[in-house]
Amino acid sequence: MNCITICVKESTFELFKKGDSIAFEEIYNLYSNLIYRKVFRLCLDSEICADIVQESFDLSP
């Protein structure tokens, strides 16, 4: 199994935790495609994958 590691600067992550939209966008751009590809290998359904990616980044309580 291949493992891909993507590093996010600690400062970006701290801004993300505080609700910074630019930090959120940076993290989304780094991880959304990776999450999509991993999930697609499991379910082979593009609509479900898109929903899972969207829900993964949903910050609402």
How confident is the prediction along the chain (61 residues), in pLDDT tens digits per residue? 444 555 667 788 888 888 899 988 988 998 899 989 999 999 999 999 999 999 988 876 6
Q: How far apart are CA 17 and CA 36, in angstroms?
A: 22
Q: Can you give the pLDDT at residue 40?
A: 93
Q: What is the Rg, in whole angstroms, of the alpha carbon atoms belonging to the chain?
A: 13
- Type of residue at 40: F
Q: Can you give the pLDDT at residue 1?
A: 43
Asked whether 39 and 52 are in contact (CB, 8 A), the reply is yes
Q: Can you give the pLDDT at residue 5?
A: 54
Asked whether 19 and 8 are in contact (CB, 8 A), the reply is no
